[in-house]
Amino acid sequence: MRSPKGEEQEKTQKEFIEELKVMEGELGDKPYFGGDNFGFLDLSFMPFYIRFNAIETLVNLSVEAEYPKLIAWAKRCLQKERVSQSLPDSLKVYDFVSQMRKKFGVD
């Protein structure tokens, strides 16, 4: 494995941005993807949110600055005890990703 550089890194960043744009568009002005109620889609996307810290660092992007509605949604979801207790800490996820990148010579 190798670290994405130059054009490859730009392509990866653009793909990530497009995916976030779709997610935020689907969320719209609703508090949750299911409308007023926390539902299956919200639960499904939370593990993806926990990886934002690692992804932001890798692609040099601030998700909160670019997609504030998405971050506000995630913070609402994390206020639910059953959600916050079931997810790993985002910093631990970042540390794990960093270790794996070093182990496989990506960094």
- Locus of tokens 């935020």: 24
The b-or-e profile of 48-71 (16+ CB within 10 A means b, else e) is ebbebbbbbebbebebeeebeebb
pLDDT at 71: 94
pTM metric for this prediction = 0.79
H helix runs in 28-67, sequence order: 40-50, 52-59, 63-66
The tokens for 69 are 């509605």
pLDDT in tens, 27-62: 999 999 989 999 999 999 999 899 888 888 877 788
Read off the amino acid at residue 14.
K
Task: Decide: helix, strand or coil at residue 86.
Answer: coil
Share of residues in the chain with pLDDT > 70 (%): 94
Overall average pLDDT of the 74-85 stretch: 94
Q: Which fold has domain 6-102?
A: Glutathione S-transferase Yfyf (Class Pi); Chain A, domain 2 (1.20.1050)
pLDDT at 1: 40
Q: Spell out the domain ranges in the chain.
A: 6-102
Residues in the chain: 107
Read off the amino acid at residue 2.
R
Helix (H) or strand (E) holding 91: helix 90-103
